[in-house]
Amino acid sequence: MRKIVITEFISLDGVIEDPGGAEEYAHGGWSFKFNDPEGMKFKLDETLESDGMLLGRVTYEGFAKAWPGMKDEVGFADKMNSMPKYVVSSTLTDPTWNNTTVLSGDLVEEATRLKQTDGGDIIVHGSATLAKALVEHDLVDTLRLMVFPVLLGSGKRLFSDGAGPAGYPKTLSLSECNQLPTGTLTLIYDRVA
């Protein structure tokens, strides 16, 4: 069975909104203040280890504009552009980024079916609404977080108040923790069976 892996840039106060500065959020681009080669290696490794991407429509549209024209020497752009992409959307009908499949049915059914297909890990970059729903429906196998030493005070958060359909509490097991020179932490949590 394939694993769904959520990867997020996240502030100390839980905000995941617009770390790259492309969404017109008041504090957009906040992750760039903590540029760290080890952090970029963390992102490269998780992408190269993945066999597919599951994205929400907003993140997909941003990626589809940016990635097709990108090139780099380490293979990150090639991997992003070549791997299968699954976008959860009830409005997107004509995806332009190669290797894209639109999932327009029930999220729980679509994600469960996708996990049962052959292949390796399916990575979810950003995609705040989708990531929250996957967590709440207990469909996430691994959380890979880069926790930045910044408090933003407002913005979209990964974890919302209240109990989700699958219930809480949810227990995770810390499998990796590293502190980067900038004070950013890389954390990997796995689902407890």
Task: Read off the CATH number of the domain in which 128 is found.
Answer: 3.40.430.10
Q: Would you state the pLDDT for residue 159? A: 82
| Contact indicator for 9, 31 with CB cutoff of 8 Å | yes
Is it the case that residue 150 has pLDDT exceeding 80? yes
Segment 32-60 mean pLDDT: 93
Average predicted confidence (pLDDT) for the chain: 92
Q: Note if the pTM is more than 0.85.
A: yes
Q: State the distance between the two ends of the chain, measured CA to CA, in whole angstroms.
A: 14
Please tell me the predicted confidence (pLDDT) of residue 153: 93
Q: How many domains does the chain have?
A: 1
| Predicted local distance difference test score (pLDDT) of residue 85 | 98
Amino acid identity at 184: T
Domain with 128 in it? 4-191
- The CA distances from residue 30 to 47, 92, 182, in Å, are 22, 29, 13
Q: What is the pLDDT of residues 77-134, one digit of tens each?
A: 999 999 999 999 999 999 999 999 999 999 999 999 999 999 999 999 999 999 999 9
Q: What pLDDT, on a 0 to 100 scale, did the predictor assign at position 61? A: 93
Whether the predicted pLDDT of 164 surpasses 80: no
pLDDT number for residue 23: 81
